[in-house]
Homo-oligomer: A and B are copies of this chain.
Amino acid sequence: MTFGEYIREIREEQQLLLREVASQMNIDTALLSKIERGTRMARKEQAEALAKVLKQNKNELLQFWMADKIVFMLKDEKNITEILKIVEQKINRLSKK
């Protein structure tokens, strides 16, 4: 599930309209629509605003948002697993220092 699908689900559970949420975020309805549909990526501040409006845990939502960005970067790669292994090695070495 993408970030957009996720927040759409939450918004619909809470029976909120795009226009209501967008208004509280101070953005255009069209932009929020695009974010939910994945044709635009939310900015960090927008992800934070969404957490607030939808009453979600901010850090959790931001993690989900960041994961989405990474998946987006990787989605057309051939050896995703291999790349992620390298990432983990690099991260492990970083954290040791």
Contact B71 A83, beta carbon cutoff 8 Å: no
Contact B70 A73, beta carbon cutoff 8 Å: yes
Interface residue SS majority, chain A: helix
Contact A67 B83, beta carbon cutoff 8 Å: yes
Q: How far is the CA of A82 from the CA of B66 in the complex (A)?
A: 11
Interface assignment of A28: CB less than 8 Å from any CB of chain B:
no
Chain A residues numbered 45-87 whose CB sits less than 8 Å from any CB in chain B? 59, 63-64, 66-71, 73-75, 77-84, 86-87
Could you say which residues of chain B place their CB within 8 Å of the CB of A86? 63-64, 67
Q: Given contact pairs A70-B74, A74-B91, enumerate 6 new A-B contacts (beta carbons under 8 Å).
A: A63-B79, A63-B82, A67-B90, A71-B87, A71-B94, A73-B73
